[in-house]
Chain A
Amino acid sequence: MLASITSACLLGIDGHAVRVEVHITSGLPGFTIVGLPDAACREARDRVRAAVTNSGFDFPNRKITVNLAPSSLRKAGSGLDLAMAVGVMVASEQVPGAGIDGMAFFGELGLDGSLRPVRGMVSLVDASPVDIVVVPAAAYAEATVYGRHEVRGARRLVAVVEAPRGDEPWPDPPEPAEPAPPVGPVVVRDLADVRGQAAARSALEVAAAGGHHLLMVGPPGAGKTMLASRLPGLLPPLGIDEAVAVARIRSAVGEPLGVGELTTTPPFRAPHHTASPVALTGGGSGLLRPGEVSRASHGVLFLDEMGEFAPAVLDALRQPLEDGVIRITRAQAAATFPAQFLLVGAMNPCPCGEAGPDGCTCSDGERSRYRRRLSGPLVDRFDLRVDVQRPTPDELLRGEPGESTAEVAARVREARQRAAARGVACNARIPRRRLDELCPVTPETELVLEGALAGGRLSARGLDRVRRVSRTLADLQGHDGPAGVEHVRMALILRAQPLVAA
């Protein structure tokens, strides 16, 4: 007998539909899986046998061949267990084929027949060409993200086959363990907690409003990490497409999604400086796991202690910063992951941490070596730079709390809407050819820019950046016309400059 069950397998963050064909004939008893299964997939044989037997069904003592089509696609992971078990039972006529028509099956089987979730359920379900999907109960939330399918969750193999046999109705969708988390940005870290730091707050606001990459330079203890952690609260909540994309990536990485609404808080990733290039960009042998740059997509990637990152790691960021995606090529497979993030870097001005002729105790060689670590394409990418200093005791104890996240986020949201109305995702991504149209230079601002260029305050490359940042500053003030002199002047003092004095 031949059974054909619909399922899917995960490659990178995308699901690929897989047809599990099970063929039972006479011959020497055996269980063969073909179709490029990886080790975990091959082990399904023992799991399926035990699960079927422990669920009260017979495991046929005949020659069983399982083909995972398409045969040229590598099948990784244990998500095909359920489909194989169902296929065996249909092929051995223990379950009627008609009963499972139009359904897809996903999940790993335990030896006792229990159903376990696997990574990437969001993408797997998305790849299913059928209307009804059967998933482990624990993955119910993930399976409903796209909302296109009718989702049936089950905890055990028994439950999966009883309904098609007509013995039992499908179990109800699982109740959420606790009340669903609130929708929208979860503001745990408020900007009002930061005392003083007017320049840094302004820079954060501009970064959030225009998507401009921000570099914070300052000694240890200045509050750079604190400021960076406030940034996700300032960013507008994710739209539905972005939220789904983030859910896909989180699912592919194996992060459990809560039951209830999709989270709309932009992700915030802060990899430690000992992270490897692969941890940052993604990859790995065979699995193609998304890296930090993809997990930070539509959110913030915060590199604390940027001076401590290995140069190879920082170099790996160049392509995603340029293209907004990361392309990973391995011998067996290639994938393109999203990597559209807001980059925030924090670093000391020099190895000893202090700066300026009064405080710095570094030798000239140490300083120039430190500067060279981050020179070139990466530092060039930062539109904004702010020098952060340690707050004085007076500020800490008696300082007034500044504007709250809510106040600033409202302005940011409006500024973003203005940018969207122009047809750009955010001002930082205004292409060169549209600069003159969207960021025009008036005679007044031309004077200011000329003065800055002539005085060596601004380089030719910096000029484009200043124009984009001025546009964001104008948007933040609710100003629709060309950026004015005051906006250009602000952009000039907030822009990125060489790291340490030569």
Chain B
Amino acid sequence: MSGSGGRSAVGPLGAAALPDEAYLVGVASIPGVGPATIRAELAERSPEEAWTRLRARPGSPVDLAALWTRHLEAGVLVVGRGHAAYPAALRDDLEPPEVLFCRGDLGALDRRRVGVVGTRRGSRYGLDVATQLGERLGAAGVAVVSGLALGVDGAVHRGLFRSGGGPPVGVVGSGLDVVYPGGHRDLWRRVGEEGLLLSEMPLGVRPTRWSFPARNRIIAGLSEVVVVVESAQKGGSLYTADEALARDRPLFAVPGPITSKAAKGTNRLIADGAMPLCAVDDVLLALGLSSPTGSSAPIPEPGGPPGRVLDACAHESVTLQTLVDRSGLTLPEVAGAIDELCRTGWLAESAGRYERTTPR
């Protein structure tokens, strides 16, 4: 499982016999040494020389061989720029990562690739769209690249799993063993098993504030097309959008209600030139793929009292009282309408609020 980029490892794993990747791991494990420093160092010297120069810094790993063994035993593939398996998409990138830590199948990157990102605190609408995107792309055999964060990132991969297609590609901003957020432990595991899990950081490294923008550029770099599903006025996904534009990738943004804070960023992207995603299948068209069989003809909305309640809900998260006020119906009438709508998949409720969903 050891990489064979530079000098090959022959004989016992003594200090002189470690491969280039081991030195890369060492350098990347030094606190305070980030992608920029690593790139600067490797522009001038070999990984082993870089390690010798930097290892004196405080906090750097004491036993490089043990660290390397730990990665091998954890099933982590360490890939440097010179490695045969280094992703082709990143080889000519603007700021290619010098070292990548991988778990899963790098062959997943041979498929068509779409990056889907968005806010951590999405509205039901945003999560709904993200899930549908995941389902659609997965069914078409497209690899979906995302950050495995809360909200949109998690939703798109969940949709992809539901479709049974794939593969999922997750790029994270911490060591592959440091699951963030904690609730996504299962998701990380599945992505690693059924697709590819990538990081620029060695095992054991916790996420920092700069590690997320750094990983966002990798998402942009790996994708052929990037879709921002929902973003507030400030958000990490807007950074990903910038990185996509810098790499000339087609950029889609999903339009949202202008009254919604969660859509301010995405709407502004559209105003600034990103393509509005008006139908989930538009992404497939942008890739040059035709819609898979079973195209999504829109299901007609119900009428009568359920229709009035649905209109009253608009695309917000509302309370029962709001539905009563806006629909003008009595409480028992609203109760009946809500029951009907929940059953047929038009409405979902959680924690006292109701939101529109799209029935499948």
Contacts and interface: CB of A to CB of B under 8 A. Distances in A.
A364 interface: yes
A358 B126 CA distance: 13
B338 to A, nearest CB: 6
Given A498-B351, A500-B351, A358 B260 contact: yes
Interface centre among A217, A388, A490, A493 (most CB of B within 10 A): A493
B335 A489 contact: yes
Contacts of B351: 349, 355, 497-502
Contacts, number: 97
Range class of the B interface residue count = 20 to 34
A385 B120 CA distance: 28
B322 interface: yes
B77 to A, nearest CB: 32
A202 B260 contact: no
Contacts of A455: 342-343
Nearest to A454: B343
Given A356-B317, A388-B321, A455-B343, A493 B352 contact: no
A393 interface: no
B339 A492 contact: yes
Interface residues of A, number: 35
B320 A490 contact: no
B261 A358 contact: yes
Interface stretch (B13-21, B57-65, B324-332): B324-332
Contacts of B120: 364
Contacts of A378: none
A462 to B, nearest CB: 12
Contacts of B259: 358
A214 interface: no
B331 A490 contact: yes
Contact of B320 (A357, A358, A386): A386
Nearest to B125: A357
A490 to B, nearest CB: 5
A387 B320 contact: yes
Contact of B352 (A387, A448, A492): A387
Interface of B: 120-123, 150, 181, 259-262, 316-317, 319-322, 324-325, 330-332, 334-336, 338-339, 342-343, 349-353
Interface of A: 196-200, 202, 217, 349, 355-358, 360, 364, 385-389, 448, 451-452, 455, 457, 486, 489-490, 492-493, 497-502
9 contacts: A196-B321, A355-B351, A355-B353, A356-B353, A357-B261, A358-B123, A490-B332, A493-B320, A502-B351
Given A196-B321, A493-B320, 7 more contacts: A198-B331, A356-B353, A358-B317, A448-B339, A452-B343, A486-B335, A489-B332
